[in-house]
Structure 1
Amino acid sequence: MLFIVATPIGNLEDVTLRTLKILREVDFILAEDTRKAGRLIKAHNLPKKRFLSFYEHNERGRIKDIITLLKQGKNIALISNAGTPLISDPGYKLVRRCLEEKIPLTSSPGPCAVINGLVLSGMPPDKFIFWGFLSKKSAQRKNQLRELKMFKVTLIFFESPYRLYSLLKDIDEILGDKEVAVVREMTKVFEEVKKGRCQSLLEYFKDKKVKGEITVVVDNR
């Protein structure tokens, strides 16, 4: 069976009893970064496991071997570097193949940066669009924002700290001076939620050296 297992997005204590049981009992763990996965295993005193690297650039080539192991009766857990697998992370092609091959699978739900960011943002949660990472290039990013402008819902993005200011500038130009929440380092020691009109956030972040993983939430109503 394939187990799709959510892992902490920051605080290593944010893990369910079921997830720990699965990680303790499976034969293999598919991980984007085996070193990070190893730290999680060590933090919870779990037995050492055989890790198989599984990331964006080797996913397609790995699937055949993984399917073979699953058909042999092996139990395999799929985890990402943080949060819920498949959400801006590899895995959906494997899940789709398992469904096609009628291989049993299940999920162990848990942390998800998209939902956690939305909850902390104070933005309307009833209707939202999650885009993941917008383009690194401003021209393409602006075109993507133009596509989204027509949807009067909450918009959620992931962004690098190095491009946060550029993203805010593009949001202000294309969507207008919307209410925006920048949610940073969720569940970690330096967690921060900075919320305000886009132009006020541009002023706030103008000369700041931002670090950490960032979720940007925009009220586009």
Structure 2
Amino acid sequence: MPLTSQAPGTLWIVATPLGNPGDLSPRARHIVSTADVLLSEDTRRTGQLLARCGITARRLMSFHDRNEAERQDEVLRLLHDGQQLALVSDAGTPLVADPGYRLVRACRAQGIRVSPVPGPSAPVTALSAAGIPPLPFTFLGFLPRDDAGRRQLFTAFARTPGSLVFFERKDRLPASLAVAAAVLGPREAAVCRELTKTHEEFILFRLEDHQRLSHELLGEITVIIGPPEQQERAAEDEARTCLRRLAAGHPSARSKELARLAQPELPGWSVKELYELLTRDDS
């Protein structure tokens, strides 16, 4: 891209409230009201926030997962022309499970200033009030939509010390918690919903008791799963390898017997879970 002789503008990464408009900082208010262009994940939702805060943006431009690639050249051109642009997501801190990474990386590569305007972030907000060990923690973003993808992700982080934090839709929450319980074993957990809003709620429970949760949970959901307890749980791939080895050495053994033989070798696994793993793989 040809560069002009004019000094490029700045891309401001602006955190916006999760729900309570009072959480918009004075600095964030100034940036979004004075920026030449406000890049918005959802212009309708951003417009509603601005109206509640009494702010009028100079120009709103949609910038989301589906158009990020095609909009990037236009955005970079505006920045090279010296304009000030601010990037916001629907709520919280942009790039944290929201669009913008490719744009920020391109700006860095082209010498365009990128400056954060920090503020609300759902993972940190949830960790601050849930009462589950906050450090260290690993943020997983939005989980894969299918059980196989979720199982693979949880297996990869099963031995990670510290808490796991992720976003999930209410309709997929029961299935995701079931996979998490099977892969991660007994742990503390919390479902944090509607953070900073009128119906804010922190539901603390044991991951192995996830079936007791209501399936009628509404709103935006952040899930925290506490650190591994006592001994680390053997990874699911390790459990499968162990079961295959035992099956080869005991060809006449039934699945329940194989599960009982494997259990002492696999920390964090119950005989029932190993039996269910065997029957699921055989189906």
Q: TM-score band (shorter)? A: over 0.9
Indicate yes or no: 2:229 matched with 1:211. no
- Give the alignment of 1:1-221 within 5 angstroms: 1-205=10-214, 208-221=215-228
Post-superposition shift, 1:199?
Answer: 3.0
Point out where structure 2 has 5 or more consecutive residues left out of the alignment.
1-9, 229-283
CA–CA distance in structure 2, aligned partners of residues 163 and 120 of structure 1: 24
CA–CA distance in structure 2, aligned partners of residues 143 and 204 of structure 1: 24
**What TM-score do you get using the length of structure 1 for normalisation?**
0.96
Radius of gyration: which is bigger?
A: 2
Post-superposition shift, 1:176?
Answer: 1.1
What is the RMSD computed on CA atoms of the aligned residues?
Answer: 1.1
Three-state SS of the structure 2 residue aligned to 1:123 is coil
Number of equivalent positions: 219
Post-superposition shift, 1:101?
Answer: 0.8
- Equivalent residues of 1:118, 1:217 under 8 A apart: yes
CA–CA distance in structure 1, aligned partners of residues 68 and 104 of structure 2: 11
The residue type equivalent to 2:41 in the other structure is E
CA–CA distance in structure 2, aligned partners of residues 46 and 12 of structure 1: 12
CA–CA distance in structure 2, aligned partners of residues 38 and 220 of structure 1: 39
- Equivalent residues of 2:38, 2:57 under 8 A apart: no
* Identity percentage of aligned residues: 38
For residues 48 and 219 of structure 1, do their structure 2 counterparts lie closer, same or farther at Cα, with a shift above 3 Å needed?
closer
Structure (1 or 2) with the greater helix fraction: 2
* Higher RCO (CA < 8 A, seq sep 6+): 1
**Per-residue deviation, residues 100-143 of structure 1 (Å, max 9, x unmatched):** 11111211100000101111221112211101111111122112
The residue type equivalent to 1:141 in the other structure is R
CA–CA distance in structure 1, aligned partners of residues 39 and 57 of structure 2: 13
Runs of 4+ in 1 over 6 A off after TM superposition: none
CA–CA distance in structure 1, aligned partners of residues 135 and 82 of structure 2: 41
The residue type equivalent to 1:34 in the other structure is T
CA–CA distance in structure 1, aligned partners of residues 183 and 53 of structure 2: 46
CA–CA distance in structure 1, aligned partners of residues 108 and 177 of structure 2: 40
- Equivalent residues of 1:175, 1:220 under 8 A apart: no
- Equivalent residues of 1:9, 1:111 under 8 A apart: yes
CA–CA distance in structure 2, aligned partners of residues 140 and 24 of structure 1: 41
- Equivalent residues of 1:182, 1:214 under 8 A apart: yes
- Equivalent residues of 2:34, 2:58 under 8 A apart: no
Post-superposition shift, 1:54?
Answer: 0.2
CA–CA distance in structure 2, aligned partners of residues 191 and 198 of structure 1: 21
**What TM-score do you get using the length of structure 2 for normalisation?**
0.75
Deviates further, 44-53 or 58-67: 44-53
CA–CA distance in structure 2, aligned partners of residues 162 and 117 of structure 1: 20
- Equivalent residues of 2:35, 2:57 under 8 A apart: no
- Equivalent residues of 1:149, 1:220 under 8 A apart: no
Point out where structure 1 has 5 or more consecutive residues left out of the alignment.
none
